Chain A
Amino acid sequence: MASWPEHPRLIGTRIPRVDGMAKASGRAKYPSDVRPEGMLFGVMLYSPHAHAKITSIDTTAAEKMPGVKAVEVIAKAGATLRYQGDDIAAVAAETEEQARDAIAAIKVVYEVLPHVVTEAASMADGAPKIVNTGNVRKGRAITKGNVNDAFKKADATIEGTYSAPVITHVCLETHGLTAKWDDKDHITAYASTQAVGPTAAELAGTFNIPFTNVTVLTEVMGGGFGSKFGADLWGRTAAQLAQKAGAPVKMFLDRVQEHLAAGNRPSASGTVKMGATKDGRLVAMEAHTHGTGGVRGGAGFPLPYVYDVPAASRTHDDVMVNCGGARAMRAPGHPQGCILMEAAMDDLAEKLGMDPIDFRIKNLAPNDFHTPIYLGELAIGAEAIGWKENRKPRGQGGKGPIKKGFGVALHQWGGGGTQDKQVTCIINPDGSVELKSGTQDIGTGARTILAVIAAEILGLEVGQIKSNIGNSTFPTGQPSGGSTTSPSMAPPCYSAVTAARDALFAKVAPALGVQPADLDVKGGKVLVKGEPKLTWAEACRKLGTMPISELGKFQPGLASGGVGGCQFAEVEVDVETGVVRVKKIVAVQDSGLILDLLTWESQVYGGVIGGLNYGLFEERIMDPTTGVMLNADMEMYKLAGASDIPEIIVKAYDPPEQKARGVIGVGEPPTISTAAAIGNAVSNAIGVRVPVWPMSPRNVLNALAAAATEGKA
């Protein structure tokens, strides 16, 4: 079993990312920035209707427009368009302005069909059937234990209906790529992707050329969050247009189509009935849930979540609507499951008159490895938010119109890496060091952690390592998804660098008249039995003309998976306007051995802010009448700005036994429980449950009004 250095010099410290200055100075070239010689601009034509059939499509006029070099029809006469934003055609022209004009000149006659764009409309009696198999795809009911009997043991039972909306990824760099045919069967694509290898495979398959003829380059990219794992129809179309026109084509979606068609996080709604004994032990849960992932389904989520429920039954329906299809989004399914579970947990704790933390602790599974982690984290988080001193029982948030409240929620994530990825480490005779792998950095710091590992093992500074990734022709690397990149890439990086170092020692030792085992590296020097003898450059010069190149593979003992975390929120709610201000969030997260504390913290801050957006602001708003999205932009689609950011306290839960687990990814876990914690804090503040996320003024005021009608507030 391999192991990480016991007393690392760099690992676990705060190291600025190696490509940070390129990004901060505007010099980094994103896939949407490159402009190969003679490049044309591609523009998509997409459906203005939620549901329509193409009666006819005529591109004659468009083809004759100035500057137009290629036109590609995707949806021919007779084709069905299943959502606003569905692809119809594409144009490549010398300027983007010309391409847009040509798009406008394509004559399409539509037969508009009846649509449903909300779950209510889709499930209603007599709704137009938009999928042959029916609008509602019933999931298999999952039952554990005898739920009816178990409920009889409950001293307190709650039944709540909770929901979270569809949100979109809003990648700042839209989906797309720049395609350049190097000759008739070799293509280079500058792609904004989370997976250079699979993107290359998709292009190779599309054009029936060998994988080796495709080069996908992603030096840097502007955000994916789970939605960018391939070339996509738009990338394939760019390559087709480039082939037709005999010139490179850049194709990146406009902001509207990005919202409509490039993925979203499915909604989640459901009725949760849950019971517990008076000492706070859960006995049973019954949940009926549904959600929509658009025209394709995929709206499943875990429930029960985190807690040990002895008897549970669950049904789940996927509801089809005429909206773009869901894609994985930062911890797919978990934020939804967390909202429904944690809202019900809080409501049941309230009914039992128990402290929400005590109630949660009572219901952690005794033999689950997460449990001691949660216990440690809850203690740290409760202390940091001042739970004991500051939190009041629900509805005692203060006398004036501004009510203060506190909430908590727990989450978990599998993560863990693959065991088949590779990294090459090259040590050149001039002393330069290069790492090569076909993984990519989507903003997480993947490039930097590889350099940190190499610098640690070789006794060099991080800046001396060239971390060369984002190229599909390099040794196979991990796609950036599921928080798997670090645990997949760190072990082969360790192996490659260690092997390269040992190969260098084998070359240098005879020249020094010692055994390789006598050598070590430290502070840019090669040491013989602990004494500095050569500089790194002098040692490498002994390689002559032959660089060292070692391919590293997985080794056990360096990485792991499976994390739990908890988050606390402090909010102020104005019960007159319904405006929620988050004052403070505490996030306590384990993730094994932290390689770079600076980028690790950024990941956790980013996850929390993503969760804050989900908790307070974001929702895709569909117009049931016209079938179009009303906020396919960045002003009415609300995202936090600088003034919306509360005090955020990030705590790494990394006692020695956690560090000993090795590297675990952290991209996803810290975004899961924020929205649930905020919702719980809001209900603690105002004394009533706001059952509909986000905690927008409308949803808060509606909950207060409903409670007033029922005489509760």
Chain B
Amino acid sequence: MADLDTKPRPGASRRDFLRGSGLAAASAVISGPARAALDEAAAEAREAQDAVPVLSGQVKITLKVNGQERHTTVEPRSTLLDTLRHRLDVTGPKRVCDRGSCGACTTLVDGAPVYSCTTLAVSCQGKTIETLESFDTGPEGVPHAFHQNDGLMCGYCTPGFVTACKALLDRNPHPTLEEVKQGLNGNICRCGTYVGVLKAALAAAKSMKGA
């Protein structure tokens, strides 16, 4: 867990936030250590101005998806999910709520699960993007456990559950049932497949251990 937290995450950096919020400009009326910190941030921001271009219109990007370099054109507002689905035909991750509350779009970015519907594609350049299409479909893989334990019905939430489950087992290979529930709480199923999903997650943990 600690490992994950130190990794850079997709999205805005502290620097971008300060620049965007106008706090740097307000530093004139602040004194002391706070001012020094803001001055430093403002300097960093000026320096960054050249390094981080402002994107608009159609942007050519390269994404590393499931081990392949994929080139496409997006808009700065295009989400990672829509880019994968609409431009690259990587349709494993699904669009369901489209606002980061149901987990059907879960994708691994640099190994960490993210809601790809609320992640911008342009922020994922240079990162490793994995969708469940790249997972091991053999008897030790998570998809196999979902299949055998009937952890799916209509199957539309399944990619998100499978990906969240893989991410959970990557960082905690020996989860208890409670930990599995916690690890999958960011995903919603409407058919009511949770019983099979929980069995599948525990079975996957077991077969990964070779037990």
Contact = CB atoms under 8 A, between A and B. Distances in A.
| Chain A residues touching B, range | 35 or more
A172 B147 CA distance: 20
B78 interface: yes
A606 B153 contact: yes
A523 B151 CA distance: 29
Interface in A21-73: 21, 23-30, 32-33, 35, 41
B194 A609 contact: yes
Interface stretch (B23-31, B39-47, B89-97): B89-97
A173 B188 contact: no
A223 B184 contact: no
- Report whether over half of chain A's contact residues are helix, strand or loop; otherwise say mixed: loop
Contact of B192 (A222, A442, A598, A606): A606
Could you say which interface size class chain B belongs to?
Answer: 35 or more
Interface in A151-202: 170-173
Interface string A420-448: 00000000000000000000001111000
B180 interface: yes
B182 interface: yes
A270 to B, nearest CB: 28
Given A33-B85, A97-B77, A255-B99, A223 B194 contact: no
Contacts of B153: 443-445, 602-603, 606
Given A26-B162, A255-B98, A609 B192 contact: yes
B133 A27 contact: yes
A35 B89 contact: yes
B193 A26 contact: no
A133 interface: no
A41 B86 contact: yes
A99 to B, nearest CB: 11
Contacts of A28: 155
Nearest to B137: A25
A635 interface: yes
Contacts of A104: none
Nearest to A644: B194
A634 B197 contact: no
Nearest to A636: B101
B185 A642 contact: yes
B192 A610 contact: yes
A16 interface: yes
Contact of A172 (B75, B94, B146): B94
Contacts, number: 169
Contacts of B104: 172
Interface in B47-96: 75, 77-78, 82, 85-86, 89, 91-96
A642 B156 contact: no
Contacts of A633: 97, 99, 101
A17 interface: yes
Interface string A586-604: 0000000000001101110
A648 B78 CA distance: 42
B194 A26 contact: no
A643 B181 contact: yes
B36 interface: no
A26 B132 contact: yes
A24 B152 contact: yes
Nearest to A256: B98
B190 A171 contact: yes
Given A20-B152, A172-B157, A443-B153, A606 B92 contact: no
Given A605-B193, A635-B101, A642-B194, A223 B147 contact: no
A634 B185 contact: no
B167 interface: no
Contacts of B34: none
B16 interface: no
Nearest to B132: A26
Interface string A632-650: 0111000111110100100
Interface in B102-152: 102, 104, 131-133, 135, 137, 142-144, 146-148, 150-152
Nearest to A444: B153
A255 B156 CA distance: 14
B37 interface: no
B182 A27 contact: no
Nearest to B155: A23
B39 to A, nearest CB: 39
Contact of B154 (A221, A605, A607): A221
Most buried by B among A33, A220, A223, A603: A223
A193 to B, nearest CB: 12
B130 to A, nearest CB: 11
B114 to A, nearest CB: 16
A383 interface: no
B193 A220 contact: no
Given A23-B152, A33-B91, A172-B154, 12 more contacts: A16-B148, A25-B135, A41-B86, A223-B154, A443-B155, A602-B196, A606-B153, A608-B192, A635-B99, A639-B190, A642-B181, A642-B184
16 contacts: A20-B148, A26-B133, A33-B85, A96-B86, A171-B190, A172-B189, A442-B154, A605-B193, A605-B196, A606-B191, A609-B192, A635-B99, A639-B188, A641-B186, A642-B197, A645-B194
